Amino acid sequence: MDPGPNLEANDADQPISWRAVPQDTPVWASGGQPVGTLYELLGSDQEDIFHGIVVQLRSGSRRVFVPADHVTLITATHVNVDLGEVEIGGLPEHTEERQFELGTAEYLPKNLGWVQENDR
């Protein structure tokens, strides 16, 4: 009797929610090469809005923000983006100040002293 397709082997390549992807997941450029690892997801759980990802570049020297529009696939084993390796390397360095400007203050560490408007 044929056991059928091995679904477990393909589960790792199935799309998952942006909320479920683990930190340090490899990030692949459009050419299929790894460019870094997922450092952080930016979004709003309350509003169910995904803003994008922060990628720790392979060189280890910088973290860059990739907007959600450029994230093409999120799986349990990797994240694909539609930017090339050179384009990703040319993105500006991500800072917590930039994160705050995106309206994702809820993901910032509480010890920074920033207060959301509705908490005042």
**For the domain that residue 51 is a member of, what is the CATH number?**
3.90.50.10
Helix (H, G, I), strand (E, B) or coil at 87: helix
Name the more confident of 120 and 95: 95
Asked if residue 72 is part of any domain, the answer here is yes
Per-residue confidence band for 47, with pLDDT thresholds at 50, 70 and 90 = confident
Asked if residue 3 is part of any domain, the answer here is no
Eight-class DSSP state of 31 = T
> Using an 8 Å Cβ cutoff, are 35 and 58 in contact?
yes
Domain tally, the chain = 1
Asked if residue 5 is part of any domain, the answer here is no
Asked if residue 73 is part of any domain, the answer here is yes
Asked if residue 6 is part of any domain, the answer here is no
pLDDT tens sequence across 68-87: 999 999 999 999 999 999 99
**Tokens of residue 117, six digits:** 């408007």
- The pTM score is 0.72
In whole angstroms, what is the distance from residue 66 CA to residue 36 CA?
A: 12
Where in the sequence is the domain holding 49, given as residue range(s)?
11-119
